[in-house]
A and B are shown apart, each in its own frame.
Chain A
Amino acid sequence: MNDDKKMQVLHLLHENSRLSVETMATMLGVTSEEVKQAMTELEQSGIIKRYSAVIDWDKVESTKKVSAIIHVNVTPQREVGFDAIAERIYRFPEVRSVSLMSGTYDLEILLDGEDIREIARFVAEKLSTIEHVISTATHFLLKTYKADGVIFDDHERDRRLVVAP
């Protein structure tokens, strides 16, 4: 399969990872075998990490989970730069994402917790105490409007007439 088709497989899966191999093959004008092969390659080369769902947790009644974005300034270390510190942080399972940033801070962390105190505890006990961490700034998420390309409460409906020339 050529690179353009592979890109299209990625886009289709990113949009809806439950599409069947057969449907994707039809949509792209290739065989099912080719799609399977491409997916295997993309998985094995680590391009596809996993297949997951986009969830609006605010709509889940039973959870009171909170999330925070934390900006962290660190002193990079000789030889390993930011990577070793990032790893010490991302190994915690409650850390959903860690990115190295350009600009006024170094690492951006997205952290999930059962409540505000749990997040406060993590910052105070785990994050701030890591050697080379200079400062942290914690921002709690209040509402998610759009995540990973999906608008959560989209009020735009199909307003077309049922039949039109």
Chain B
Amino acid sequence: MRANPSSVPHPTNPREGRLSPLVENLPPSGIRRFFDVAAQMDDIISLGVGEPDFVTPWRVREACVYALERGYTSYTSNHGLPELRQAIALYLDAWFAISYDWQTELMVTVGGSEAIDLALRAIIRPGDEVLVPEPTYVSYRPCVVLSGATPVPIPTKPENEFRLTADDILAHVTPNTRAIILCFPNNPTGAVMDRQDLEAIADIAIRQDMLVISDEIYAELTYGAKHVSIASLPGMRDRTIVISGMSKAFAMTGWRIGYVAAPADILAGMVKIHQYTIMCAPIMGQMAALEALKNGHSDKDHMVNTYNQRRRLIVKGLNEIGLSCHEPRGAFYAFPDVRKTGLSSEEFSERLLREAHVAVVPGNAFGEAGEGFVRCSYATATDKIEEALERMRRFVASL
């Protein structure tokens, strides 16, 4: 694992009036600075990576090579390859009990990221507010701002293991609330919402006439009960935009293949933006995704089982060090509490990196509610997790 420091662009101060105020006022990602420091060191063990350590399964890569050999290099339909959309429809139905018409309610996107942006731009009207439960993935707030809406962060609480409760939401709803962005299983906390948890949220969404953008990119990575999509609850399908993709479950991050399932009118709006700005997701990635959905399930199961074993290892290790850590029930992150060390998230992360050569991500990078916690990814080989825990143990003891 390494990166060439010279390839890292450094932020420049924009000249007066050259940039859109929206962009100029957008804060840079809190993760960037750590990346710069970490890139200078060569014996880092990184628990800071938000992607699988597995390379894409060979059968998927091989299918892409074969597709290239046969000349699959063109544009596809704006919506994505029909075969792929059909496969996604079958997959969502079989695994998450949500059924969508592949012709009018599904679209293949350039990663889940594009779908987040499209969803927001498609639904936002002037003056709208969007609820963003935090800590959460770093893109939502900037995307909300860029869509012209106002993000309203909702802190989720450690005592609830960072699950979202009805009371959390109700305290932040206003007449301008247009939508809420859910990310469960959650990056960075590993929190999972059970059916009952979601029912309480659905109830409010219906009563307040809110749309739900549900980023379910980690849906396959749960380690107890199976993932429940909020779109599968009564009355929710018509107000939910489900976003997912191939990146996490099938270790296909670099392929940039995501997808979105939504009621036909909303999807049509998203397709409009997509067709003018993106045209279509790359066909090579789409061909690979098709192979993954058709034949990649045993590879996926193997990876999920491996994450589960490492999850138990890291949670036990962190708790033994004294960094108390709730049991993450999804994704591949542990989110230990570092407040007992007396250090802030950033101080802890920076000193851990400089003194113990272990990279983690400070919790406040995922919103103020993450302060006092750090994100440790267990998408890392077992022996590296064990070594990282040993280094962290020595570091914490030295404080």
Chain A interfacial positions (CB closer than 8 Å to B): 8, 12, 23, 26-29, 156, 158-165
Contact of B312 among A12, A27, A163 (CB under 8 A): A27
Q: Are A163 and B49 in contact (CB under 8 A)?
A: yes
State which residues 15-60 of B face A: CB under 8 Å.
29, 31, 34-35, 38-39, 44, 46, 48-51, 53, 55
B2 CB to closest chain A CB (Å) equals: 8
Residues of B close to A165: CB separation below 8 A = 29, 31, 50, 137-139, 187, 361, 365
Q: Mark B292-333, 1 if CB is under 8 A from A, else 0.
A: 000000000000010001101100100000000000000000
B94 within 8 A of A: no
Q: What A residues does B34 contact at CB under 8 A? A: 163
| B53 interface neighbour in A12, A28, A158, Cβ under 8 Å | A158
Question: Are A156 and B50 also in contact (CB < 8 A) when A162-B39, A163-B359, A164-B31 are?
Answer: no
CB distance from B43 to the nearest CB of A (A): 12
Whether the Cβ atoms of B31 and A162 lie closer than 8 Å is no
A162-B386 contact in complex given A26-B312, A27-B313, C-beta closer than 8 Å: no
Which residues from A are CB-within-8-Å of B138?
A: 165
Q: For B397, list chain A residues within 8 Å (CB).
A: none
Q: Is the CB of B31 within 8 A of A158?
A: no
A163 proximity list for chain B (CB < 8 A): 31, 34-35, 38, 46, 48-49, 359, 361
Give Cα A163 to B40, complex, Å: 12
Distance between A139 CB and nearest chain B CB, rounded to angstroms: 26
A23: chain B residues at CB < 8 Å are 313, 382, 386
> Given the complex, which residues of B lie within 8 Å of A164, measured CB to CB?
31, 35, 48-51
Most buried by B among A8, A26, A160, A165: A165
B3 on interface, CB distance cutoff 8 Å? yes
Collect the chain A residues with CB atoms within 8 Å of residue B44's CB. 162
Q: Does B399 touch A at the CB level, under 8 Å? A: no
Contact of A162 among B48, B137, B310 (CB under 8 A): B48
Q: A165-B138, A165-B187 are in contact. List 15 more A-B contacts (CB 8 A).
A: A8-B309, A23-B386, A26-B313, A27-B313, A29-B312, A158-B53, A160-B46, A162-B1, A162-B2, A163-B31, A163-B48, A163-B49, A164-B51, A165-B137, A165-B365
B51 near A27: Cβ-Cβ < 8 Å: no
Q: Would you give 6 A-B contacts (Cβ < 8 Å), ordered by A?
A: A23-B382, A26-B312, A158-B1, A160-B49, A162-B44, A165-B31
CB contact between A161 and one of B3, B53, B187, B310 (< 8 Å): that residue = B3
Chain B interface residue count, Cβ-Cβ cutoff 8 angstroms: 32
Provide the bound-state CA to CA distance between A29 and B361, in Å: 26
In this complex, what residue of B is CB-closest to A156?
B55
Q: Which residue of B lies closest to A19 (CB)?
A: B382
Contacts A23-B386, A156-B55; A162 near B312 (Cβ below 8 A) = no
State in angstroms the CA–CA spacing of A156 and B187 once bound together.
27
A28 contacts B51, C-beta separation under 8 Å: no
Contacts A23-B386, A156-B55: A162 and B313 contacting too (C-beta < 8 A)? no
B39: chain A residues at CB < 8 Å are 162
Question: Whole-angstrom distance between the alpha carbons of A27 and B309 in the complex?
Answer: 4
The chain B residues found within 8 Å of chain A, CB to CB, are 1-3, 29, 31, 34-35, 38-39, 44, 46, 48-51, 53, 55, 137-139, 187, 305, 309-310, 312-313, 316, 359, 361, 365, 382, 386
Are B48 and A26 touching (Cβ within 8 A)? no
By the criterion CB–CB under 8 Å, are A160 and B312 in contact? no
* CB nearest neighbor in B for A165: B138
Cα-based distance from A65 to B29 in the complex (angstroms)? 57
Residue of A nearest to B188 (CB): A165
Decide: A160 and B51 in contact? CB cutoff 8 A.
yes
Please report the C-alpha to C-alpha distance between residue A131 and residue B396 in the assembled complex, in whole angstroms: 71
> Closest CB-CB distance, B221 to chain A, in whole Å?
16
Contact across chains for B38 and A162 when beta carbons are under 8 A apart: yes
The chain A residue with its CB closest to the CB of B47 is A163
By beta carbon, the residue of chain A nearest B310 is: A27
Query: Contacting A160 at CB < 8 Å: which of B31, B53, B139, B386?
Result: B53
Chain A: which residue is nearest B32 at the CB level? A163
Q: How far is the CA of A23 from the CA of B316 in the complex (A)?
A: 10
Please indicate the chain A residues that have their CB under 8 angstroms from the CB of B38 in the complex: 162-163
Task: Provide the bound-state CA to CA distance between A81 and B1, in Å.
Answer: 55
Contacts of A160 in B (CB 8 A): 1, 46, 49, 51, 53
Inter-chain contacts of A26 with B (CB < 8 A): 312-313, 316
Nearest Cβ in chain A — how far from B373, in angstroms? Answer: 15
Given A23-B386, A156-B55, A161 and B313 contact (CB-CB distance below 8 Å): no
